[in-house]
Amino acid sequence: MVLGAGAAFAAGTADAPQASNLVTTTTADSVAQQAAAQGKAAKHKAEEAKKKAAAAKKKAAAKKKAAAKRAAKLPWETPVHKYELSASFGNDGSRWAHKHSGQDFAVPIGTKVEAAHSGTIVKAGPNGGGDGPAYGNAIVISHGNGTYSQYAHLSKIDVHIGQHVKKGEKIALSGNTGNSSGPHLHFEIRTTPNYGSAVNPVVFLHKHGINV
């Protein structure tokens, strides 16, 4: 009877490694399942992020298009784009006989200058187009109703006196001519075509829906 009991014990001992193998296999399957679930979750998260990025890009493009559409309907625009504001209207300075008569837009030489509003060229040439050498090469446009715009320190003039231009039409390239401390466009709004009748161009543009 004792030997029988010993045989049963031996048989039980022989079965023990098989149970261990079962536990190891189950653990390995669980780890694999967890890894697969984590991979799936990461892939889903990446896809969602991609969708959100695409939606944000689409929304930004639509917003930009809408802004451009609104701007196209406005009668006025800034004469240059992608600029930094420098000397403002009314500033004191050693370079001016009186207070600064316009708004300076700091841009690289050769930047496209556009007509801020449709009108007719009444001045164009060196020496400020007749307003004095301090302006360098300059243009003055008559817009009717006693409103004029002036563009100075140009490197190149692409229009002539008597020519009609539309808003946004290229009229010149910016420069550093005349009494200038660095490349920029000097822009004025006037009530006559001549020096001395300037008004604040930033305030004027704001009244016409343009943020400068």
The second-level CATH assignment, the architecture, of 84-207 is: Distorted Sandwich (2.70)
* Cα 63 → chain centroid: 12
Residues 164-181, mean pLDDT to the nearest whole number: 97
Per-residue pLDDT, 95: 63
What ranges do the domains of the chain cover? 28-73, 84-207
pLDDT in tens, 73-112: 679 999 999 999 999 998 876 665 678 899 999 999 999 9
Per-residue pLDDT, 200: 96
Per-residue pLDDT, 34: 84
Which region holds residue 15: left if phi is over 0, alpha if psi is between -120 and 50, else beta? alpha
In angstroms, the first-to-last Cα distance of the chain is 106
pLDDT in tens, 46-64: 888 888 888 888 888 877 6
Q: Which residues contact 138 (CB under 8 A, 6 or more apart)?
A: 123, 124, 125, 128, 129, 131, 150, 151, 152, 153, 154, 178
Whether residue 11 is predicted with pLDDT greater than 60 in this model: the reply is no
Eight-state DSSP code of residue 174: E
More confident call, 20 vs 135: 135
Per-residue pLDDT, 42: 86
Per-residue pLDDT, 139: 98
DSSP string of 54-120? Answer: HHHHHHHHHHHHHHHHHHHHSS---SSSS-EE-S-TT---TTSSSS--SEEEE--TT-EEE-SS-EE
Q: What is the pTM of this model?
A: 0.69
Per-residue pLDDT, 128: 95
In this structure, the strands spanning 84-85 and 103-106 are antiparallel
At residue 24, φ and ψ (nearest 5 deg) are: -60, -45
Question: With contact defined as beta carbons under 8 Å apart, do 131 and 123 qualify?
Answer: yes
